[in-house]
Structure 1
Amino acid sequence: MVRKHGSGDSGAVNRLRWCARGVLVAVLSQVGSVALFTATVIALAALIVGVGVFLLPVVMVAVRGLATFHRRTAGEWTGDPIDIPYRHTAAAAPHDGARSFGQCRQLLSDPATWRDVLWMLLDAPVGLVLGLLPASLVAYGLNGMLVTPFLWESMGPHWGFGAIWPITDQTDAYLAIPQGVLLVALGLLCARPLLRLHTRFNRLLLAPTRSARLALRVERLTETRSETVQSQAAELRRIERDLHDGAQARLVSLGMSLGLADTLVEQDPVMVRKLLADAMESSSQALTELRDLVRGIHPPVLAERGLDGAVRALAMGLAMPVEVSIELPSRPQPPVESAAYFVIAETLANVTKHSGANRASLRLWHADGALRAQVGDNGRGGADPEGGSGLRGLQRRLAAFDGTLDISSPPGGPTLVTMELPCE
């Protein structure tokens, strides 16, 4: 969760932290932006001789990594992250010339690539000045407060290597103390505004433009539509398979048993009673399977109790203690409610099956036009959407509603799964 800085940033320690962040920005502007801009120019020039086809994708990975780092730190430092504007680019093996050529063409046709190049060019001076100025003022002021008077006291007018301060007599030497205090205060006060100004500069070039946002939105909708169609097709196949292998087979068996009983009703009453008993058992099992199937489509508890009651019932059914916190002003729309319920249910099932945890937590609330849920556990961690744990399927289910599923699960735990669904 992004921490928004407020009044707690007024202390000297926090202001020094902003100065240190400025130094980081200045260093990255020289070590990162200058070096990568040079490498980008070389890679573009190398396209003429063909080597750049293999070199440019590698360089752009580093460029986009640096730009994304600045976008992320903008969110961490100011509470206002910068969105990623890049179009999807297919990866290519280093030895695959055809795919590398296609990847280069995609990179060069992406406007965000050229905005990154312009950003690196301008960030070299802008990042250096805005990042280093606060720390320079603080260092210059500390020199006047702590160094200049004592060097004058010990070396006097022979202080030839002396000073960054214009010292002509002892009075000037001691006047450097209040001047240094003012400069330190100025450096501490301007650190945060200057870094915010640098963030605005980054946003100007690193944030997606209106056309880029629309293009990314279209690409996202195309992906989610395809995933939704595949997910619904798989769900229909599952329902058909469950009906064919379960309730339908039992109903066929029931019909055969009743038909046989009809033919034996006068010849073998004992066998008829046995067949009727089997028929009653088959009908009971078929009814149970149909109820399970309906519960998998839309659980009755969800229709009866709403999302609040249904989720609490899920938590009570687990074999471990679950801390539940639910704050919902009203029931969400039925499709959103159903999607949220199934995602929470599957996540809690994963906690039971795979996490090795002995305690879990569940929080469900509504804020900023979205339904949010967090499921956490104290298990072994290591949950990966690509690892076949079903998390990728949950992401596809939420993507149909323009929702997201974020997973934080470092090895050793804990695991925190955060769901967000647009919901008025």
Structure 2
Amino acid sequence: MRRFARDRARAAVDALEHLVGGLGTSVLALGAVFWLVIVLLLCVGGIGLLLIPGALRIVRSVADRERARLSRWGPEVLGPPPVPDGALAALRDPAVCRELLWVPVHATFGFVVGLIGLSLPLTAVQNLTFPLWYTVVPAGEGPSLVFWNIDGLADAIAVALTGLGWLALLVFGGLWLARVQAWPGRRLLAPAPGTDLSLRVVQLTATRAAALDAHAAELRRIERSLHDGTQNRLVAVTVLLGAARRALARDPRAGGELLDRAQQAAEQALAELRTVVRGILPPVLDDRGLSGALDGLVAGCALPCRLEVHLPARCAASVEATAYFVVAEALTNAVKHSGATSVAVSARLDADRLRLSVADDGGGGADESAGTGLAGIRRRVEAYDGRFTLTSPPGGPTTMNVELPCGS
């Protein structure tokens, strides 16, 4: 029963999150509808014809936000190619036509369903707490949707019982409401039959190219580390050993000093070689698994860091290595660039997906093009057909979410 209650509560919170997210995109869709109406009115005078491509791009932007929202909750909804140039070409595009059909539906139907979903917990809390404050309302009156006079505590308790009904409706009907709200988007924003496979091929081609680029960059990093560090140390060891061998015959004390220097250089070369090996595949992943590896990263972070891990099973070694490097790079960015005072890291296994989250309370404004390693993180994640999302408004906070398919 405890597990059932926990699962139902989690499902209700998840459904409420998606309903509120759908309410947000419906507000954007409503704004797009208003702009489309204005453009249509301006077309009477000819001015609106010039505004049609921009209006269609606004609709595409709103539709892409809804696709991203739906993809985070259920099967991925692939986006179509860019809007064609020119008003006539764009209006002939089947994907644009489906988006033009979707946007008024979501602006009205999605908005109403989102309001219903948002009102369920608010009404439940209002009614459940009504016996505590019913004396401050005018005599005989009660909360909304209560159709009887409130004459005393017994009537107030009856209102509280209706609050339990609203709460039960959220717990057991919230997911259904969320699916109803998402249905027009999944129906109209998904690729037309027959194009899903071609879009998937294009996406896999792009991720394969990114994987090859990431692999080449990793090889260059390893080569540079070996060439600039370990190789130079070993050359120094060779030179020092040769000098020591020649000096031993003339001055044993000087030869001993050279041997000491050669030993120090050899130890430094060995340490650098171990660093390079750990950069290829950290041994801690084999010894302690991803949970232990993340615990080590958090313990070594220069900022106060909170870690939440729920990994009941192991993932593939390559996926764990990717997750390790993603978190390591994210923590490095937080220390160097964010100005944060604390970081929170979470890792959990959800069905066949490994979900990572790294959030800091810094100044925000993180930019993938600013050379902070975020582009490299995206390439690593997309190479495994994963998802990478970054939220970093100016002023903060910064939150990075990563999903990786966790095959065995």
> Structures share a fold, TM > 0.5?
yes
1:245-256 pair list within 5 angstroms: 245-256=228-239
The answer as to 2:194 corresponding to 1:211 is yes
1:54-79 deviation line (CA, Å, top 9, x unaligned): 75532321232344466678899xx7
**Residues 56 and 104 of structure 1 are in contact (CA less than 8 Å); yes or no, is this contact kept in structure 2?**
no
**Cα distance change of structure 1 residues 326 and 209 upon mapping to structure 2, 3 Å threshold:** same
1:326-365 pair list within 5 angstroms: 326-365=309-348
- The Cα of 1:358 is off from its aligned counterpart by 2.0
Quote the residue 2:6 is aligned against: none
* Match among 383, 402, 406 for residue 385 of structure 2: 402
Alignment identity in percent? 38
Segments of 5+ residues of structure 1 without an aligned counterpart are 10-16, 91-99, 136-180, 182-187
Segments of 5+ residues of structure 2 without an aligned counterpart are 1-9, 117-146, 148-165
The answer as to 2:295 corresponding to 1:301 is no
**Residues 74 and 80 of structure 1 are in contact (CA less than 8 Å); yes or no, is this contact kept in structure 2?**
yes
Structure 2 CA distance for aligned equivalents of residues 290 and 27 of structure 1: 54
Quote the residue 1:413 is aligned against: 396
* Match among 57, 60, 68 for residue 61 of structure 1: 57
**Cα distance change of structure 1 residues 104 and 338 upon mapping to structure 2, 3 Å threshold:** farther
* Match among 262, 266, 286 for residue 283 of structure 1: 266
Quote the residue 1:263 is aligned against: 246
Structure 1 CA distance for aligned equivalents of residues 255 and 26 of structure 2: 87
**Worse-matched range after superposition: 58-67 or 81-90:** 81-90
1:270-310 deviation line (CA, Å, top 9, x unaligned): 32122212211110111011011111111122221111111
> What amino acid does structure 1 have at the position aligned with 2:36?
L
1:336-386 deviation line (CA, Å, top 9, x unaligned): 010000101111111222222222211111012101111122222222223
> What amino acid does structure 1 have at the position aligned with 2:405?
P
**Residues 70 and 77 of structure 2 are in contact (CA less than 8 Å); yes or no, is this contact kept in structure 1?**
no
Structure 1 CA distance for aligned equivalents of residues 390 and 382 of structure 2: 15
The answer as to 2:387 corresponding to 1:393 is no
Pairs aligned (count)? 339
Structure 1 CA distance for aligned equivalents of residues 28 and 214 of structure 2: 47
- The Cα of 1:256 is off from its aligned counterpart by 1.7
- The Cα of 1:35 is off from its aligned counterpart by 5.8
1:114-133 pair list within 5 angstroms: 114-119=97-102, 123=105, 127=108
**Cα distance change of structure 1 residues 384 and 6 upon mapping to structure 2, 3 Å threshold:** closer
**Cα distance change of structure 1 residues 273 and 328 upon mapping to structure 2, 3 Å threshold:** same
Say what the alpha-carbon RMSD is for the aligned residues.
4.4
- The Cα of 1:215 is off from its aligned counterpart by 2.6
Structure 1 CA distance for aligned equivalents of residues 88 and 230 of structure 2: 55
1:186-214 deviation line (CA, Å, top 9, x unaligned): xx99xx99997675344432222343322
**Cα distance change of structure 1 residues 68 and 279 upon mapping to structure 2, 3 Å threshold:** closer
1:5-404 pair list within 5 angstroms: 32-33=32-33, 36=36, 39=39, 56-68=52-64, 83=77, 85-88=79-82, 107=90, 110-119=93-102, 123=105, 127=108, 200-404=183-387
Structure 2 CA distance for aligned equivalents of residues 291 and 348 of structure 1: 21
> What amino acid does structure 2 have at the position aligned with 1:36?
L
> What amino acid does structure 1 have at the position aligned with 2:302?
A
Structure 2 CA distance for aligned equivalents of residues 265 and 198 of structure 1: 85
> What amino acid does structure 2 have at the position aligned with 1:273?
G
Structure 2 CA distance for aligned equivalents of residues 315 and 27 of structure 1: 39
> What amino acid does structure 1 have at the position aligned with 2:403?
E
Structure 2 CA distance for aligned equivalents of residues 359 and 365 of structure 1: 20
**Residues 291 and 309 of structure 2 are in contact (CA less than 8 Å); yes or no, is this contact kept in structure 1?**
yes
Structure 2 CA distance for aligned equivalents of residues 7 and 392 of structure 1: 30
Secondary structure of the 1:266 match is helix
1:194-248 deviation line (CA, Å, top 9, x unaligned): 9976753444322223433223212211111111111111111111111111111
- The Cα of 1:417 is off from its aligned counterpart by 1.5
TM-score (norm 2): 0.68
Quote the residue 1:155 is aligned against: none
**Residues 328 and 364 of structure 1 are in contact (CA less than 8 Å); yes or no, is this contact kept in structure 2?**
yes
Secondary structure of the 1:83 match is coil
**Cα distance change of structure 1 residues 269 and 320 upon mapping to structure 2, 3 Å threshold:** same
**Residues 71 and 77 of structure 2 are in contact (CA less than 8 Å); yes or no, is this contact kept in structure 1?**
no
- The Cα of 1:253 is off from its aligned counterpart by 1.6
**Residues 64 and 79 of structure 2 are in contact (CA less than 8 Å); yes or no, is this contact kept in structure 1?**
no
TM-score (norm 1): 0.66
**Cα distance change of structure 1 residues 59 and 234 upon mapping to structure 2, 3 Å threshold:** same
Structure 2 CA distance for aligned equivalents of residues 227 and 379 of structure 1: 29
Structure 2 CA distance for aligned equivalents of residues 246 and 6 of structure 1: 52
**Residues 68 and 84 of structure 1 are in contact (CA less than 8 Å); yes or no, is this contact kept in structure 2?**
no
Secondary structure of the 1:305 match is helix
